[in-house]
Structure 1
Amino acid sequence: MRTRTVLAAPLALLVILAAGACSDTPTQDEIASDCVTALDERTKGDTSKPSACEGLTEENWLSVRAAHALKDVNSDLGLIDENLDEMRDGLDELREGN
């Protein structure tokens, strides 16, 4: 009787862990990736939250939205790419003490 109890407890734990590992719930990273795709595909000027973004926490939604907005500004104006080399050069000069 005692042997069956000792063997049953670890077996039950393995079953519980296996059930949790097989969960179909997407991670925040997976949802964010789908969200970015949905944001890229939506019509310009559309400010509604795509359904693909619904599972994100509020903090992650704001982060994805802010990053996407910066990407939009960069693609429209080219500001980040044009100034990136200048910023790197300035940082290099600061590090070198010039």
Structure 2
Amino acid sequence: MIGLGTWAFELNTPVFKGTLHLTISDKNGNYDFKPELPGYNGPLEYEVLSVKEEGNTLSGELTTSFIPMKKPVKLAMTFAGDRCAAIAKVPLLGKVNVQGKRIGGGGR
């Protein structure tokens, strides 16, 4: 499994501005994702629809309460040590590129 640990991403979009902490863990051989938005008190609803591991990249689709009509977001995260380059294709926003860094945990 790749990308295990807690990652910090600085987001600056019309939908959300702030830091996203994403914990990626191994749950009985499957990827488990837990997002947190420090300082955000609203609901954080999401559903991971698919996950695929290829080399040092995790890709997949998810829905979130931040996107109207729960249209799927396509996401690809490429890991290199304690750094992560993520590209999200977000309905109504288009392509969003963000850089992340590992702030906790470990793994490959």
- The bucket for the TM-score relative to the shorter chain is under 0.3
TM-score by length of structure 2 reads 0.21
Q: Which has the higher contact order (CA 8 A, sep 6+)?
A: 2
Structure that is richer in helix per residue = 1
TM-score by length of structure 1 reads 0.22
